[in-house]
Structure formats: structure tokens, C-alpha cells
Amino acid sequence: MDLFFQLTLAGLAIGSIYACVALAVVMIYQATDHFNFAQGEMAMFSTFICWTFLGLGLPVWVAAVLAIGTSFIAGLIIERVIIKPVENAPVLNQIIVFIGLLMIFNNVAGWIWEFTIKPFPSLFPDDFGFKSELIGPHHMGVIALTLTVLLLIFLFFRFTRVGLAMRAAAANPDSARLVGISVGWMLALGWGLAAAVGAVGGILVAPIVYLEPNMMSGVLLYAFAGALLGGVSSPGGAVLGGLIVGVLENWLGQYVPGGSELKLTFALILIVGVLLFKPAGLFGRVVIKRV
């Protein structure tokens, strides 16, 4: 029974990282109707920036906060400089821009920091003052920190003036302009926030998967699976979806013979399955578009 709880808690920890990336993906999806395929690579790049700050001798928390801040500004700039010009371009052009960003970030990271695998320190101490047989200190810290971050984001969107304006701009840009909201800046802010949340995910997953330019490819796939499972129209759903995928992944690896080899396949099966049988996801709305 202990093994089951261990697996579940570790699954929740990794799932909360998927949840961060899934939320970043959904935030941008809500505003643009597209998946940002580069979300994972942006998070990887943020983690490398954090690593660079660490190399300068900064304490790990300072480096993390600076890297997250840098990511926020970078996300904002990416929207203004690269995404805004293709805002009204055909869907295919936009998707190509996203894929282009993915490859650029991947290659530039390899060029600057090399493709060798690097160990990355945990933000959390080895000992919180108490030990648990069921969950390690890093996983414990991951769950606590991601839940805090997700809660703060929820409060921001739910209760602040700018949060409300961002929701309004994503849902109904014309009406948003008519009440005086600068829709373009709200979209840029959304990209900044998504990049920052993604960075949190990257920094938390790096101690587990090690730091290298391809470290997010698996994570992004699970995050997509989580976002789709929860429902791309529902930020809360995407977070729950990420958690569910993390737990299922761990159970699969332990209880299904050969399951540990099939983890990525499982994510893809989940993606295809949701798209085929429940495109709106578990918590999403069915979106009807007038054409």
C-alpha cells in the first residue's frame, strides 16, 4: 500500500509541473485559439537562464526569481515582435511560426549551453525538518510551490482589474476595446505570464529530468495531454488534467507490465483518445463557432 501512495504522491508532484505547462498553453490558447508548440522550449530556455544566474554565484531562489522575471519580459517581447505581426495571418502560418520558435529556442540553447546533460539543483532543502517515507523533499516542495503559484494566478484572474481585463480581451476583443481595454497589451501580458508559469515548470522539472535542450519535449507532450484531458477552454480543467496525467503515468509505469516503456505512448494515446471521443475535455465547454 505504501508503494501505491508513493507512486501517487510522486505522480502529483510531476503532474503539478505538467499542470504549470498545461496552464501556460491554455492561457495562450484562450487568447489566440492556437497551441503554442514552443511553450516547452521557452520553459527550457528559462531554466538555462536560471542556470546561468546560478553560475554567477547567485543563491538558487534568487536565480529562480530572476529567471522567471526575465521569462515574463521575454514572453511579452516575443508576443509584440513575433506573434503580433502574424495575428491575422492564416492558421498554417501561425503554426509554422510556433514550430519555428520551438526549433530556434532548441538550437540556440544547444549553441549557447551545449547539448550535454547538466545536473540542476533543487530549490528545496534536503530536509524540511521532517521526513516522510512516502515522498521526497523535492517532490514535496514542488507540490507546495506549484499549488501556491496556481492559486496566485487564479486570484489574479478572478479578483484584479487587469485579470478581468485579460479575460475580457481574450473572450471578446471587440467589446474589450469598446470599454477602453488595450487588447494588444493584454495579449502580450498573457504571453508574459504564460512564459513565467512555464519557467516555474522548467525550473522544477530540471532536477528530475536533468538540464539539457531537449528536457521539455516529454513534459510538453504530457502537458498537452493534460490540457486536452481537462479541456482547453478551462484553465482549472487543464491544471486538473495535468495532475491526473502525472498520477496515471506513474501508475502505468508500475502496474502495467512493460508500462514504463509505454509512458510517452500513453500520452499520445490520451491525446488522440480525447480528441476523438471528448474533444471538449472533462471540464471544458463545447465551443460552437459561427462561420
Partner 1 sequence: MAFLEVKGLKAFYRQIEAIHGLDFSLEEGSITTILGANGAGKTTTLRAICRMIRTEGEIRFDGQDVTGMATEKVVQLGIAHVPEGRGTFVRQSVEENLQLGAYTRKSKTEIAADIERVYDYFPRLRERQKQQAGTLSGGEQQMLAIGRALMLRPRLMLLDEPSFGLAPLIVQEIYGIMRRIRESEGTTMLLVEQNANIALNLADHAYLLETGNVVMSGESQVIRDDENVRRSYLGY
Query: Which chain residues interact with partner 1 by CB under 8 A?
Result: 161, 164-165, 167-168, 171-172, 174-183
Distance of CA 23 to CAs 57, 176, 190, Å?
A: 31, 23, 11
| CB of residue 15 to partner 1, shortest distance in Å | 27
CB nearer partner 1, residue 133 or residue 174: 174
CB nearer partner 1, residue 163 or residue 259: 163
Residue pointed to by grid coordinates 526569481:
65
Q: What is the C-alpha separation between 40 and 287, in angstroms, rounded?
A: 26
**SS3 assignment, position 37:** coil
Give yes or no for a contact between 25 and 223, defined as CB atoms under 8 angstroms apart.
yes
Question: Mind giving me the DSSP string for 226-287?
Answer: HHHHH-TT-HHHHHHHHHHHHHHHHHHHHHSTTGGGGHHHHHHHHHHHHHHH-TTTTTPPPP
CB nearer partner 1, residue 17 or residue 23: 23
Burial of 79 (0-12, 13-18, 19+ CB in 10 A): buried
Q: What is the C-alpha separation between 230 and 224, in angstroms, rounded?
A: 10
Amino acid letter at 93? N
CB nearer partner 1, residue 131 or residue 285: 285
Q: What is the C-alpha separation between 218 and 202, in angstroms, rounded?
A: 12
| CB of residue 176 to partner 1, shortest distance in Å | 8
Least Cα distance to 22 among 43, 4, 5 occurs for 43
CB nearer partner 1, residue 10 or residue 176: 176
CB nearer partner 1, residue 56 or residue 178: 178
| CB of residue 168 to partner 1, shortest distance in Å | 5
| CB of residue 67 to partner 1, shortest distance in Å | 32
| CB of residue 159 to partner 1, shortest distance in Å | 11
| CB of residue 26 to partner 1, shortest distance in Å | 14
